[in-house]
Amino acid sequence: KAGVTQTPRYLIKTRGQQVTLSCSPISGHRSVSWYQQTPGQGLQFLFEYFSETQRNKGNFPGRFSGRQFSNSRSEMNVSTLELGDSALYLCASSDRVSGANVLTFGAGSRLTVL
């Protein structure tokens, strides 16, 4: 069974640009969560999607958005990039949205903003 796949793995952008990151969950998983990981703040929750609906949202500005498609694949978008958006963006999938569920993470997309 293939794991969680994130693309691209690395990217460099400049301030003011926008970026779209993609995540393909484990086959059969309908829940996708996104996290931002930085050395200073650790892993911070961005949002969670289940069956194409955003179920939970973290404390991030509106520049951060996401969506989920009918095949459970998900994308997140960051507009008007700032230097502080440089981070590892991790996607995780699960077979359910609530209760005790293990998140399986992808390897992440490392974004550098210059």
Partner 1 sequence: GESVGLHLPTLSVQEGDNSIINCAYSNSASDYFIWYKQESGKGPQFIIDIRSNMDKRQGQRVTVLLNKTVKHLSLQIAATQPGDSAVYFCAEKGYSTLTFGKGTMLLVSP
C-alpha angle 80-82-86 in degrees, rounded to nearest 5: 120
Going 110 to 28 to 77 to 43, the CA torsion angle's sign is negative
Task: Provide the token pair at 15.
Answer: 């301030």
User: Closest separation between CB of residue 20 and partner 1, Å?
Assistant: 19
User: Closest separation between CB of residue 105 and partner 1, Å?
Assistant: 3
Residues lying near partner 1 in the complex (CB under 8 A) are found at 4, 33, 35, 39-40, 42-45, 48, 55-56, 58, 90, 92, 98-100, 102-108
- Could you report how far apart the first and last alpha carbons of the chain are, in Å? 37
Going 85 to 90 to 96 to 102, the CA torsion angle's sign is negative
Decide whether 12 or 107 has the Cβ nearer to partner 1.
Answer: 107
DSSP 82-94: -GGG-EEEEEEEE
User: Closest separation between CB of residue 17 and partner 1, Å?
Assistant: 25
User: Closest separation between CB of residue 15 and partner 1, Å?
Assistant: 22
Decide whether 59 or 70 has the Cβ nearer to partner 1.
Answer: 59
- What amino acid is encoded at 106 in this protein? G
Decide whether 62 or 99 has the Cβ nearer to partner 1.
Answer: 99
Decide whether 14 or 98 has the Cβ nearer to partner 1.
Answer: 98
